[in-house]
Every structure is written in structure tokens, then in C-alpha cells.
Amino acid sequence: MPVDEVIPYARPLTPSARLGESAAKAQATFRAAARRKKWMNLLVIHVALVCICAGFILPLAWMISTSLKTNKEAMLFPPKMVPIPPNWKSYPNVINHERVDFPLFARNTVIVAGLAVVGTTFVSAFVAYGFAKVKFRGRGLLFAMMLSTMMIPFPVIMVSQFLLFRWLDVHTPIQFLGTFKPLWLPWWFGTAFNIFLLRQFFMSIPDELSEAARIDGCSDFGIFWRIILPLARPALACVALFTFMHHWNDFLGPLIYLQDPQQYTLALGLQQLQGTQGATTEWNILMAGSVLVVLPVIVLFFLTQRTFIQGIATTGLK
Amino acid sequence: MKWISRAILFLMLLGGAALLAFGPRPNAHVPPGRLVLSYWEKWTGPDADAMRQIVDDFNNTVGAEKGLYVRMISLANVQHKTLAATAAGVPPDIAGLWTAQLVQYALRGALTPLDDMARERGIDPAKYKPVYWDICSYEGKLSALPTTPAVVALHYNKRFFYEAADKLYAAGLDPTRPPQTLQEFDRYAKLLDVPIPGTNRLARAGYFTMDTGWYIMYSQVWFGGGAWDTKTQKYTLLRPENIAAYEWVASYSKRMGSEAFMDFKSGLGGFASPTNPFLSGAVAMVQQGPWMGNYAASYNPDMSQVIVPFALEPFLPRVVRPFNYEWAVAAFPSAVMGDAGKDVSYNETDILVIPRGAKHPRESFEFLAYVQRPEVMEKLGKLTGKHSVLKKNSDNWLYTHRNPYVDVFDRLAASPNAAAIDQTPIYSEGLNEIDLASQQIYLLQKTPVEALTEAQQRLDARLARYHEQRALRGAK
Amino acid sequence: MSKQTGGSAARAGTTEWGDIGKGLFFLSPWMFGFLLFTMTPIIMTVYFSLSEYSVLEPPVYVGLQNYRDLLSDKWFGNAMLNTAQYAAMALPGGLLVSLGLALLLNQPIRGQAAYRTIIFLPSLVPVTASSMIWLWLFNTKLGLLNFGLAKIGLPAVGWLTNPSVALPALAFMSLWGVGYTVVIYLAGLQDVPKELYEAAEIDGATGLRRLWNVTIPMISPVIFFNLIMAIIGVFRVFEMPYIMTNGGPARATQFIAMYVYDNSFLYVRMGYASAMALIQLLIVLALTGIAFWSSSRWVHYQGK
């Protein structure tokens, strides 16, 4: 199955262990001159990395700095790098914004993301079990098909998906457009990316475990439910995390499916802080809003770093 | 460490759950027992605030009587969402759009016709300035009702005129009045330029095409041209008047050189801010509408209140009032000689529509009709600082209006030479093409004839295709 | 292998088909979802691409007219070209930068974890937010970038207002989000067996030669994978131009996804937009095909 092999398999990243190991090796093998050269190399690497990291962190720092300015300070040129004293008011101002109801949008986002996470985590695991642990003819073909759907960018099928929901609105009693359903319902049928990630994980669970249970008279669903799912907790967490992030960040989906401004999600709401024709953009407010949208994601990342990085590395996707 | 991150994670989950349980919900603050009518308004900022007051008035009076409650939401770009929402079958009850969108919506049957309801409520077309009433109908069907109008006029800085008085007098021009013809305008513009010594760059431009550049696509109006011929229903970009108009646009870029032009452009500040080029003194003459008065008052108050502060202005004799302002408004000069070149203006208006498929058209019309009442219209005009779509307004209104030049706008809109937005079936494509052509022209990437020829060809093809598909639909 | 499925295959009655019933049972949610939310829309796209359709009125069949119009549609070509140009700038840049970063971050040095986190952080930022941040950085008058230029005595650049600068500016901005790619490279680099480096050292290969002869071939599958994903990802670029430039100036940053969006949801020309979407779909499928086909040809696999 070549499909499979395009994907790099990853091991956990354990920087500290590797550091000790190779440092020891260096000491063992190189003479003093080589050591001096190595030291110079290290210095160069550090300097390069510090410069690059400064560049990477600068936009974020600038976002925070602007969010703590008054609108007047934000409009200064040359700009003030560090706002002293900080103007914390931008934050309450963005939360109580007259037009953009941030708390309402946050609630909408949580509803959509929550529903999608709950559905996709379970269903994707269910399907992944089929791909990983049940042998049958045509499985490879179906798996390849699934992988190729993963490659279809959403903008390519957005028009037709919209029209599909419109058709369903007219021909079924359920209303889809103008509700949150188009955003989470498709996730309740499993999503290719999540199925793939879980399948990779399930493959690594030895078959002996399930065979033992089978001999005890356990059905396949029982094996899935009682053995595989508990073992796969880290992978499930990873799927839940990615799904949550996807919905937190998604802009285009809500843009085409949500019509009533009371249903907007945070990503859409943030754009609303941009001034329109005839209205100024209050950059400090806009940046405070950006901080509020970015912050949960970054906190979540720090809390779940390992799960996260392993997830990306295993799938090599996103 | 582990338990800390667990605890934070748990708190985040709790936060999410709390948001779900106790967070804000849509349709909060609606009095019980009222029928909620959703109203999406494209304006944000002061114009939306003004409309919100009218909505509140309605909810407290007519709405309370008839059991209606208009819930207004103003969001950027909501005017783009209305068509998609109508296509999705979930439109708002009322939508605030621009006339630019009317034809596109009307053609696709996306709007509820208002003729019958308007007749029933005694809304009389004769009471409106024709230029505004006419653009609310398409193919004989009334599809919208106007609210706050827009008209483009020359805004000029009187102080800069006086500063350049010597030069202007020497050239035989009068610094105490605005230019009357376009030829004169060009001479004024040149003399009002303030170059940076020793360079070909400008510290101040007498006139700059690209501030804000919104109306550059309508330059043909000042030359008696037009992009669209209503009679033949064809685009007419290549009329000699139009070509002359864009030659005129290009002449300003050429005068500066395209590089200095881009430089100058990028040095200009935001529109609605203290760095607005007209308000900060980077440009002496601009094409703008009544809203400029609001920005002048809030972003550069020193440009007004020359004699007395705003608070004391009502005590000034009417004739003296204009002297309280450094800036003034006049008809944008036209290249056309004679009567046809007098008080030329370009007009649009904000409109209210009821999208097709909205569930309560009759109830929604109550609100539309309410806004049309003369006293409500006057209040709206006062709040927004704009003139009125109605022909007659009380004298008191005219003289206590916060825009000192509202009479000029009123006159321009009522003028026989008031031009309105084109009603073409492919308006957005048309606008995009003309916009692009004008960009290519002012950036000196193409000559007007080249750019307009290309745009004309594409629009002809697009229009032909449009008619072809219409015919197919008709044959069915 | 045969042992593990032996029991169940016997129950199913045929070894040839395996547990087809059970397999389909587990796959059924995905298959249903696939048919409903992927296949049906694609079939609908084919149908609607042959008609004039505004949703507000019933569709009218127009044959291949939409496709013919696409051929002469200057803006479609322009959007395709912009997308391709962006790809031509962002892809090599992104691949090189992320590979370089991964190599640096793979060095056994103190503070490695902190460096990695910092490089990765920006790729977590929602595109909406990063577009806002960069809109502010790129601001001609007040932006930090022009401030930096002014400091070293260079004139201000109209990052997003100058037609010839805007697209490269967006490509430059995309480099900020290379974190994901870097992580994938890092994962690949960890899989390169240490013995190979040691062997290379014994042969006297150092520095660049070692990189060229050992590292690059060993992680070629990862490079290739990232390349294909990046190419496909270009069709996804929407938020950035939509929020930052709205396709301007002079349509210099109108990407294909935006043009489809405009046609379908602003002009409600769903039929025409469907034709565009279908063409894109074909391109994406072709790319996916190339990815799978060529991965077995020029990419080196270790071990298995």
C-alpha cells in the first residue's frame, strides 16, 4: 500500500534525552580542537535561532503591545514599542463592543465546535476500527478513496455543498441553511483526517489483545468499545483537539453557512471589528479581539503540547 | 505540573460549559408578545447609530401599538450576505442596502414588490426628489424605499484658497469663490499645489484623484458622459465624453508622474480619521458627500468654529454661518458649457427592502412606511448630517441642520442635471470593470482608450450572454 | 496475519471476501457521509456547471456555455495566475525555510524545546487573527514594517496597496506559519538512523555533503509529501486575501477560491461557479494522483 508510505511515521520528540546522548558522544570522540570548533558552531546556531525566533515572535508581541495602547497611541508614527502605562480598557471594550457581541459569538463557536468534537471523535474511531482491525476485500481501495477526499480543499466543494443543503432544505422537513447544522453535521459521519489519524494509532495496538477478548466471546463492537477505545485515549484527545481547533479557526464555513449576524462565530466576529467604509479601524480594539481569539488556542497548546505535536507528526498533515 | 495543566484544562472546559449555560443568547431584550422583525443594516458607526434611534422610536410608538419589534443588527458587509441569505431561504425581514445592489436583487426576483403596499399607505412619489425615487424602482416595479441620500459635490478648503490668493489673482482667478468650470478647476488645482522644494513631489495637492477615489468611476458625469445608456440598454464606455473624462483623470497622474503619485497616495491617511487628507490639509479640493461635514466636526474641529464654537452657532445670522467654516461645498464643476453644465451631481441613496421569502412582509412594511414620514425623515437627516430624499423640508430643518451646506446638497440633488447610479442588469460586473479600467488609467498602466475598449468588450460579451440566458429562461 | 482473522473469516463463510459485512458495518457512517457530503455535491457540481443557476430561480440548462465563458474570462485566468504565482513564491520559500529551520532545530542544543515552541506558535494562530495582525504590520502609514524600513533609511513600501508588491507580501507573510511543516520535517529527521551519519563521518563527509548525501535523500518522502500538500493547500487560500486586500489592488491578489466565492455568493452565479469548482477539482485530483504515483518512484524509503 504505497498510499500509506507517503506518510512519515514519527516517534515522540524527546529533546532532552537526545541532548545528553549526543553530548556524551561528542566528548568521547572528539579532540579538544574539534571541541572548540563545535563550540563556535553552537554559538552560530544559537545566534541564528535567537534572531529567527525574534522574527517569529515579533508579530505576536506587536499584537499584544497594540492591544494595550489607546487608539491615539496606536496611531502614532514612529510607533511606541512598549505602551506604558498599559491601557487595559481595550479588553472590556471589545467584550462589550456595541456591534460585535463577542460573548455571543464565543457561545456560538463553543456550540459548533462542541457538537463537532463529540460526534467526530466517536464516529471517526468507529470507522477507524473498521479500517484498522477488520480485514476484508476492498478495504485498501476504500482507504485510498478516503485519503484522496482528505486532499480536496473545502473551497472546491463549498458551492456544491451549499446547494446540497439548499436542496435538502426544500425537499426535507429539516432546515439546514441559516442554522449551525451544516457546520457540524458532516462531522458526525467521521472525517477523513481523524479516521486516518486514529487508524494509524489503532494499527499500533497489538492484535493479541483483541484476539484474547474474542476468545472470551466478545463481539467486534465490544472489542472496539472495551479494549481499543480505552487504549486509544491519547489519540482520541488528539482528534478532539484538532477538531476543536479547526472549528475555532474556521472562517469560510461559517461565512457561507451562517447568515444571521446573531449566529456568527468568533472568526467571523473578529473580521467585523475591521472598520468599514466611513468608519475607522480601531487597531487597539481589533488587536485586543485578536488576542482573545488567539489566547485559548495557545493555552490549549501549552497544556496539550505532546499530544498535539505527536498528532501532527503522525499524520504529517494539516 | 501535570495536575496544574489538568486543572487549567478543566477550568477551560468549565468556562465553555458556563458560556453555554449562562452565556448571552440571540434575541435577548425583546419585549414579550411582540413579533420580532429582523433588520440587517449595512452601515456601521454613526449612520447605524442614527438609524438605531429611529428603530427605537418605532419600537416605542407604532411598534408597541401594533405588537411589532424591529431588531436591528448592523454589521460590516451584511449587504453582501443578504443575497446569499435570500438564496439560502433565510433572509432577514428588512434589509438596508445601497441602490447599487437593487437591480441585481430585483432581477433575480429577490425582492418583494412594494407598489401595492406603498399605494395603500399613501406614499406619494411626487413628494420625493425624482433622482432618488426613480432609482428605487426597476422595470416599473417599486422594490425599495429610500432613506438617507448621498450626493457628490466639491469640497474645498477656503483657507488654502486665501493662502494662494496672490497666485490665483495673478492668473486671473478669484480666490473667494470655487471654480465654476472644469477648465478653471484644473487651473485652481495647479496653483493650489504646494511642492516640496527641490523635488517633483508634493506636500499638498490642489486636487488628487485618488482621495478617496470612490467616485473616480463616475468621472464621466462631469463631462456630460455616461457609462450606460438606458434607452438602448447598452454600455457606452467609449463615448467621447467618457474618454475625455478619463483623459482628465490620467492628466493628474501624469502631472505628478506615476511614482510620485503612488508615493503621495500611500502617504495619505485613513478616510474616517484625523489623518484624512482633506482634513489634515494634504489636499485642497476633494469630491465628497454630506458625511464630510461630520468628519470635519469630529476629526478636525479647528477647521470649523472659526468665529464661534458649535454651541453658539445657532445664534449666528444665517448669512454669516458659512464664515464659521474653513471648508465649503459647491457643485463639482462640469466641463459642459451652458445649462447642462450647471449643478451637475452624482447621486445614490440608502434603501430599505423586504427580501423575497421574508416571513412578514406586511408587518415589515409598517417600519418602512414609518421611516418615510416627513418628520422621521427630518430626524434621520439631522442625525446623519445628510440632506433629504423628500422635495420639501421645513425651513427650520434646513437652517438648524448640523451640516452648514445642507442647502447646497439639497439643491444639487434636486437639480435637473442630477445624475443617478446606472441601473444595469449586470451592475456589479459593470462596476468592477469600470473600477479596474479607472485604476489602470490613473496608474498610467493603460491609456483611457485602451482600458475602456477592453472593459467595453468584456461588458458587451457579458451583457449578450446575460440576455441569451434570460431568453432561454423566458422560453421555458 | 491469517491467524488473527482466521476465526472470523470462518464465521463469515468465505476467506476471499474476509469480513466484508462487519467491515462495511464499521465503515458505514463514513461511507454514508462520503456519499452524501462529498459524492453528491460533486455530481451536483457537474449538473449545475451545465446550467445557469441563481438558486432564486430554477436552473436553466445551457450546455457547455459556462466552460466556454471560463476560457475567455480574463478574471478567471487572472485568479488562476495569481494562485500559481503565489504558489511559485510561497512553496519554494516555505519548503526551504521550513527545512532550514528543522535542521537548525534538530541540533542538539540547550533551549531546543523553547526554540521549537516559538517557531511553532504562529502556526496556531487562526488565519483570521493572523490576517488582522499582518494587516497592521503591513499598514503603509503606521505599520511596523515600514517603520523598520524608515529606521534603515528606506522609503515606505505600499505592502498591500502596490499591485506589484501585494502578492509577494502575502507570500512572505505565509512564511510565518511554517511551524506545522517544520514539525513534520523534525519528525522525519528523527527517523534518519544515526548509523548513517556515523558511516558518513568515517567516510570523511561533513557539513553540506552530509546534508546532501544523507539527510536529504533520507527525508525525501517527507519533502515530497509536504510539497504536494502545499500545492493542494494553495487552493485553500481564502481568508488572507479576503480579509486583507479583498482581492485588490487591481485584482492582484484575487485567488481562485475568492473568485469562486464572489461568483457564487456575491453574484449568485452558482452554475458558473460550479464549472470553476469542477476544473479545480480535476486539478486537485490530478495532483493527488501524481502524489501517489510518483511517491513510489523517486522517493527513497528506508526499512520497510
**A132-189 per-position pLDDT tens digit:** 988 888 898 999 889 888 888 899 889 989 999 999 999 999 999 989 999 999 999 9
The one-letter code for the residue type at A79 is: P
Q: Quick one: pLDDT at residue A2?
A: 35
* % of chain A with per-residue pLDDT over 70: 86
CA distance A290 to A270: 7
* % of chain B with per-residue pLDDT over 90: 55
Taking CB atoms and an 8 Å cut-off, how many pairs form between chains B and C? 64
Find, among B361, C266, B85, C267, the residue nearest to A178 by Cα.
Answer: B85
Tell me the sheet residues that pair with B204.
B194
Q: Quick one: pLDDT at residue B48?
A: 87
CA distance B372 to B378: 10
> Do B272 and A106 lie within an 8 Å CB cutoff?
no
Q: Quick one: pLDDT at residue B473?
A: 79
Q: Is the pLDDT of residue B422 over 50?
A: yes
Report residue C190 as a C-alpha cell. 528523527
**Omega before A78 within 30 of 0, i.e. cis:** yes
* % of chain A with per-residue pLDDT over 90: 37
CB-CB contact of C64 with C279 (8 Å): no
Instruction: Supply the DSSP symbol for C82.
Output: H
Q: Quick one: pLDDT at residue B175?
A: 93
A70 at the B interface (CB within 8 A)?
no
Q: Is the pLDDT of residue C211 over 50?
A: yes
The one-letter code for the residue type at B180 is: Q
Chain B hits for C140, Cβ within 8 Å: 266-267
**B5-61 per-position pLDDT tens digit:** 888 888 888 888 888 888 788 776 778 889 999 999 988 778 888 999 999 999 999
Distance from CA of C304 to the nearest CA of A (A): 9
Q: Quick one: pLDDT at residue A14?
A: 40
Tell me the sheet residues that pair with B128.
B390
Chain B hits for C158, Cβ within 8 Å: 262, 265-266
Instruction: Report the residue from A103, A178, A274 with minimal CB separation from B24.
Output: A103
Task: Please state the rounded mean pLDDT for residues B435-447.
Answer: 88
Instruction: Supply the DSSP symbol for C40.
Output: H
Q: In chain B, positions 433-472, which contact chain C (CB-CB < 8 Å)?
A: 436, 439-440, 443, 458, 461, 465, 469, 472
Q: In chain C, positions 74-93, which contact chain A (CB-CB < 8 Å)?
A: none
Q: Quick one: pLDDT at residue B105?
A: 87
Report residue A125 as a C-alpha cell. 474511531
Q: Quick one: pLDDT at residue A12?
A: 37
Lowest mean pLDDT among A248-252, B271-275, B437-441: B271-275
CA distance B67 to B61: 10
Q: In chain A, positions 292-311, which contact chain C (CB-CB < 8 Å)?
A: 293-294, 297-298, 301, 305, 309
> Do A153 and C18 lie within an 8 Å CB cutoff?
no
* Residue A38 CA from chain centroid, whole number: 38
Q: What is the mean pLDDT of chain B?
A: 89
**C52-67 per-position pLDDT tens digit:** 888 888 888 999 999 9
Tallying the residues shown for chain B, one arrives at 476
Distance from CA of C170 to the nearest CA of A (A): 15
> Do C190 and A11 lie within an 8 Å CB cutoff?
yes
CA distance C76 to C70: 7
CB-CB contact of B245 with B434 (8 Å): no
Q: Is the pLDDT of residue A68 over 50?
A: yes
Q: Quick one: pLDDT at residue C195?
A: 82
What are φ and ψ of residue B284, in 5° steps?
A: -90, -30
Q: Quick one: pLDDT at residue A182?
A: 95
**B282-332 per-position pLDDT tens digit:** 999 999 999 999 889 888 888 888 888 888 888 888 888 888 999 999 999
Q: Is the pLDDT of residue C4 over 70?
A: no
Q: Is the pLDDT of residue A17 over 60?
A: no
C113, containing H or E segment: helix C112-120
Q: Quick one: pLDDT at residue C273?
A: 94
**B162-203 per-position pLDDT tens digit:** 999 999 999 999 999 999 999 999 999 999 999 888 777 788
Q: Quick one: pLDDT at residue B1?
A: 63
Q: Is the pLDDT of residue B417 over 60?
A: yes
pLDDT band for position B449 (cuts 50, 70, 90) = very high
Decide which of B356 and A312 is more confident. B356
Q: In chain C, positions 258-297, which contact chain A (CB-CB < 8 Å)?
A: 260-261, 264-265, 270, 273-274, 277, 280-281, 284-285, 287-288, 291-292, 295-296
> Do B90 and A162 lie within an 8 Å CB cutoff?
no
CA distance B243 to C270: 35
Lowest mean pLDDT among B442-451, C189-198, C235-244: C189-198
Q: Is the pLDDT of residue A3 over 70?
A: no
Taking CB atoms and an 8 Å cut-off, how many pairs form between chains A and B? 107
> Do A276 and B24 lie within an 8 Å CB cutoff?
no
- Chains touching B, CB cut-off 8 Å, 3+ pairs: A, C
Q: Quick one: pLDDT at residue A13?
A: 37
Instruction: Report the residue from C62, C156, C161 with minimal CB separation from B472.
Output: C62
Q: Is the pLDDT of residue A8 over 60?
A: no
Find, among B355, B347, B280, the residue nearest to B95 by Cα.
Answer: B355
CA distance B9 to B13: 6
Find, among C89, C119, C124, the residue nearest to A52 by Cα.
Answer: C119
CA distance A29 to A183: 58
Q: Is the pLDDT of residue C248 over 90?
A: no
CB-CB contact of A162 with A94 (8 Å): no
Q: Quick one: pLDDT at residue C2?
A: 38
Chain C hits for B267, Cβ within 8 Å: 140-141, 156
**A20-51 per-position pLDDT tens digit:** 555 556 556 556 777 777 788 888 889 999 99
Q: What is the mean pLDDT of chain A?
A: 83
Range picked from A271-285, B9-23, B397-411 for highest mean pLDDT? B397-411
Q: Quick one: pLDDT at residue B334?
A: 94
Instruction: Report the residue from C250, C266, C267 with minimal CB separation from B436.
Output: C250
Q: Which pTM value belongs to this model?
A: 0.85
B475 CB-contact burial (10 Å; exposed 0-12 / middle 13-18 / buried 19+): exposed
What is the DSSP secondary-structure string of A123-151? HHHHHHHHHHH--BTTHHHHHHHHHHHHT
pLDDT band for position A73 (cuts 50, 70, 90) = confident
Q: Quick one: pLDDT at residue A277?
A: 53
Chain B interface test: which of A105, A259, A263 (most B C-beta within 10 Å): A259
Three-state secondary structure of chain B: CHHHHHHHHHHHHHHHHHHHHHCCCCCCCCCCCCEEEEEEECCCCHHHHHHHHHHHHHHHCHHHHHCEEEEEEECCCHHHHHHHHHHCCCCCCEEEEEHHHHHHHHHCCCECCCHHHHHHCCCCHHHECHHHHHCCEECCEECCEEEEEEEEEEEEEHHHHHHCHHHHHHCCCCCCCCCCEHHHHHHHHHHHCEECCCCCCEEEEEECCCCCCCCHHHHHHHHCCCCEECCCCEECCCCHHHHHHHHHHHHHHHHHCHHHHHHHHHHCCCCCCCCCCCCCCCEEEEEECCHHHHHHHHHCHHHCCCCCCHHHHHHCCHHHHHHHCCEEEECCCECCCCHHHCCCEEEEEEEEECECCCCCHHHHHHHHHHHHCHHHHHHHHHHHCCCCCECCCCHHHHHHCCCCCHHHHHHHHHCCCEEECCCCCCHHHHHHHHHHHHHHHHCCCCCHHHHHHHHHHHHHHHHHHHHHHHHHHHHC
ipTM above 0.90, yes or no: no
Q: Quick one: pLDDT at residue B374?
A: 94
